[in-house]
Amino acid sequence: MRKLIRRTLTVTGIILAAAITAAGWYLTQAIPIGTGYVAKYLCSAVFISGRNPDEVLREDVAPVNPLAAVISADVDRHNKRVTAASFGLYKAAAVYREGCGCTLAVGMSEEDLRMQNIAAAAPEKPLPEDLPWPAGNGEIAVPLPAVFDEAKLSKALDNAFAESGSEKLKNTRAVLVVYDGRLIAERYAPGFDRNMPLLGWSMSKSITNALVGIMVKNGKLRLKEPAPVPEWRKEGDPRGKITLDQLLRMSSGLEFGEIYKPLYDATKMLYRSSDFAAYAAAKPLEAAPDAKWSYSSGTANIISRIVRTEAEKSYPDSFTFMREELFDRIGMQSAVPEPDPSGTYVGSSYTFATPRDWARFGLLYLQDGVWNGVRILPEGWVRYTTTPTQGAPIGQYGALFWLNAGPVSDPGKRRWPSSPADAYSADGYQEQKVIVIPSRKLVLVRFGATSVRKAWNTDMFIAEVLAALP
């Protein structure tokens, strides 16, 4: 009996020691990511959006970062820097630079980051306050178009902010409705307003789509040719056959773990890498190009570096290209695209702009890439963008935009079943949306901090707005 007890205790001790070792190892991987998240998110929210850091930590960070309770943060307003630390062992610093927001100091010092000459100056002349949107930044023009039921529209906005219980699970911050080129409704949560830039997260991928479109229009990039990625140029590398089109459609076949937890590619790239495109480009193929559709933020950053490389042949930096060729031309003056430590725009995840400016971006696509009679995107680009990718199971993805097309064999099996099949959207984490519905001349914008995804119902929101438009 004693031998059995000793053996049991020994085995139990070994298992316990192994569990403690595994847990310790996991924490050494998880804590730096959680700490980096706090530093980066807080830096951008404070220095771009102008928000209160305590509110940001409480309402934005804590619900999605389980390590937030053990991470302390310091906001240095004089040097425009945020540092975060956990257990006194792990530290992360994010620095703010005018014109390109915040970047984590990974793989280089804060001083090295500040010496990068990559940020484009914002427009000196703001949009006039006495003109309505989109030409200016004035109040909504009244009266509403006669076709709208004002009471139903107001109710749709009420429901977009209403919570089903005492907790702020939906946590909507802004809702805008654009009809036939006019901003006809907007509403903001307390503490937010039309002049506050907000993070679009993966809506940045759709910005990247526009940048590629401009490059294609200017004859600088070609969709069906192998993507110009240095890491794939070695003779015999099967990745060298991947086209830009396949990257845009998330059909490259590259391995990438799009899971936002420690130990996965998405978080390693965003919070522990100094060159996001290089991290993603180093991944091997897990399937032949076009054989598998797999959503990947890494892919978007490979595309962004391609844009940067091409832009720097004609512009001082890619941020100047972005501002002069896209943002300034559509009045998207508040836009702040943020770079990784290497200086490449994080085309997967990091773009700030006011909800009104995100609506301008949606309007550009509603107008087939034309703004004030001038073609910004090449002819046919929006059609290309909204053509379902072959491998997407329910026709839900085009080229860096989400679609509502449904499969050819069963068009009713759509992401938003009660919404028009021609609806498409730029989507971001926590239910950020720019929704374009060409058949109804609509652009809908929604911002929030929705940590429980089922708390927000996009299909219902669209249906309620459409109910106000017979």
Together in a domain, 327 and 394: yes
Q: What is the per-residue pLDDT across 245-257, written as a single tens digit (0 to 9) for each?
A: 999 999 999 999 9
Euclidean distance between CA atoms 302 and 281, whole angstroms: 7
Euclidean distance between CA atoms 468 and 470, whole angstroms: 6
Euclidean distance between CA atoms 247 and 245, whole angstroms: 5
Identify the CA nearest to 467 among candidates 417, 419, 395. Answer: 419
12 band by pLDDT with thresholds 50, 70 and 90: low
1 band by pLDDT with thresholds 50, 70 and 90: low
Euclidean distance between CA atoms 319 and 6, whole angstroms: 67
Together in a domain, 51 and 198: no
- Is 375 domain-assigned? yes
Buried b / exposed e along 268-282 (16+ C-beta atoms within 10 A)? bbbbbbebbbbbbbe
Res 470: pLDDT: 74
Together in a domain, 99 and 165: no
- Is 461 domain-assigned? yes
Least confident range from 80-89, 398-407, 420-429: namely 80-89
In order of 64, 119, 224, 252, 299, the CA distances from 257 in angstroms are: 18, 30, 26, 14, 11
Contacts of 307 (CB under 8 A, 6+ apart): 208, 211, 212, 215, 221, 318, 321, 345, 347
Q: Are 308 and 253 in contact (CB under 8 A)?
A: no
- Is 125 domain-assigned? no
Average pLDDT, the chain: 92
Together in a domain, 81 and 205: no
Together in a domain, 67 and 192: no
Together in a domain, 221 and 303: yes
Identify the CA nearest to 174 among candidates 414, 334, 404, 346. Answer: 334
More confident residue, 208 or 146: 208
Q: Are 216 and 372 in contact (CB under 8 A)?
A: no
In order of 141, 248, 366, 470, the CA distances from 147 in angstroms are: 15, 38, 19, 7
397 band by pLDDT with thresholds 50, 70 and 90: very high
82 band by pLDDT with thresholds 50, 70 and 90: very high
Average pLDDT over residues 177-196: 97
Instruction: Work out the burial of residue 10: count CB atoms within 10 Å of its CB; fewer than 13 is exposed, 13-18 middle, 19 or more buried.
Output: exposed
- Is 304 domain-assigned? yes
CATH number at residue 455: 3.40.710.10
Q: What is the per-residue pLDDT across 155-168, written as a single tens digit (0 to 9) for each?
A: 999 999 999 888 88
- Which residue carries 């914002």 as its tokens? 122
Together in a domain, 88 and 170: no
- Is 124 domain-assigned? no
Handedness of CA 327, 328, 331, 332 (dihedral sign): positive
Kindly state the tokens that stand for 373.
């009679």
In order of 172, 188, 278, 443, 461, the CA distances from 158 in angstroms are: 11, 11, 45, 18, 10
* Residues of the chain above pLDDT 90, percent: 83
Together in a domain, 328 and 405: yes
Together in a domain, 32 and 179: no
Together in a domain, 249 and 362: yes
In this predicted structure, the answer to whether residue 356 has a pLDDT above a threshold of 50 is yes
Tell me the H-state helices in 218-255: 244-248
Res 2: pLDDT: 62
Residue 85: give the domain boundaries.
2-115
Euclidean distance between CA atoms 267 and 276, whole angstroms: 11
- Is 288 domain-assigned? yes
* Residues of the chain above pLDDT 70, percent: 94
Euclidean distance between CA atoms 432 and 199, whole angstroms: 8
In order of 306, 366, 387, 408, 431, the CA distances from 422 in angstroms are: 30, 11, 10, 13, 20
- Is 281 domain-assigned? yes
- Is 197 domain-assigned? yes
Identify the CA nearest to 312 among candidates 341, 339, 344, 340. Answer: 344
Res 143: pLDDT: 83
Domain closes at, from 92, 115, 138: 115
* Length, in residues, of the chain: 470
In order of 228, 302, 345, 347, 427, the CA distances from 276 in angstroms are: 16, 8, 9, 10, 20
Together in a domain, 374 and 286: yes
Res 6: pLDDT: 59
Q: What is the per-residue pLDDT across 20-43, written as a single tens digit (0 to 9) for each?
A: 443 444 456 789 999 999 999 999
Domain closes at, from 94, 115, 136: 115
10 band by pLDDT with thresholds 50, 70 and 90: low
Euclidean distance between CA atoms 209 and 207, whole angstroms: 5
Sheet holding 424-428, edge to edge: 182-188, 172-179, 442-448, 432-437, 424-428, 402-403
**DSSP string of 37-59, one letter each residue:** HHHHHHHHHHHTS---HHHHIII
* Cα 350–Cα 304–Cα 83 angle in degrees, nearest 5: 35
Q: What is the pTM of this model?
A: 0.93
Phi, psi of 74 (to 5 degrees): -125, 125
Together in a domain, 284 and 407: yes
Kindly state the tokens that stand for 330.
């559509």
Domain closes at, from 57, 89, 115: 115
Domain count, the chain: 2
Q: What is the per-residue pLDDT across 314-345, written as a single tens digit (0 to 9) for each?
A: 999 999 999 999 999 999 999 999 999 999 99
